Amino acid sequence: MNAQSHDVNPCHGWKQRFTPVPPSVHRARHAAEAALRAWGVAPGSIPIVLLVLSELATNAVRHGRVPGRYYEVRIAYDAEKLVGVEVSDPREGLPRLGDATPDAESGRGLAIVEAFAEAWGVRERIVGKTVWARVRL
C-alpha cells in the first residue's frame, strides 16, 4: 500500500457520488459495469474490476460513513491494459488490512483488493481519504 495515485492515464473516465447505504454498492457496481462495457473493456476482465470496486465501496459504506455526506466512486481506463478504481469517503483515518479468521464475516476486503489489483493505496484528502487500486487487464 502507498499514497500515490493509481497511475492510469485515462482515455475514459467515470465518476458518481452515492449515499453511504448498503444498496448503493450494487448501484455503483452496475453503473461502473455499464461504463466499462461501453468503453470496450474485455468482458472477462470486468468481473475483476467490479470485485475490487465492490470491496472498496463496501468499506466506504461500513467504515467511511459520515452522516449527511456521500462517498464517490471513480474509474479510469487507459483503453489498453489498466483500469484505475478510486473510492473516496469523508471519514478520517487510514484503512488497514484485517486479520480475518476463517469464520469471520468481515475483514477481508482489502486483502481481496490486494490479491486482484496490481497495486493499491490511500491518499489523504482535506476531508477524508481516497482508496485507490490499479487493475491490469
Instruction: Supply the CATH number for residue 89's domain.
Output: 3.30.565.10
- pLDDT greater than 60 at residue 5: no
Percentage of the chain beyond pLDDT 70 is 88
With respect to residue 2, please indicate whether it lies within any of the assigned structural domains: no
Task: Provide the domain limits for residue 96.
Answer: 10-136
pLDDT of residue 109: 87
With respect to residue 4, please indicate whether it lies within any of the assigned structural domains: no
Buried b (16+ CB within 10 A) or exposed e, 74-107: bbbbeeeebbbbbbbbbbeeebeeeeeeeeeeee
Quick one: pLDDT band at residue 102, thresholds 50, 70, 90?
Answer: low
With respect to residue 1, please indicate whether it lies within any of the assigned structural domains: no
- pLDDT greater than 70 at residue 107: no
Segment 72-80 shows an average pLDDT of 94
pTM: 0.88
Quick one: pLDDT band at residue 94, thresholds 50, 70, 90?
Answer: confident
Please state the domain count of the chain.
1
With respect to residue 14, please indicate whether it lies within any of the assigned structural domains: yes
With respect to residue 5, please indicate whether it lies within any of the assigned structural domains: no
With respect to residue 3, please indicate whether it lies within any of the assigned structural domains: no
- pLDDT greater than 90 at residue 38: yes
Residue for cell digits 480475518? 100
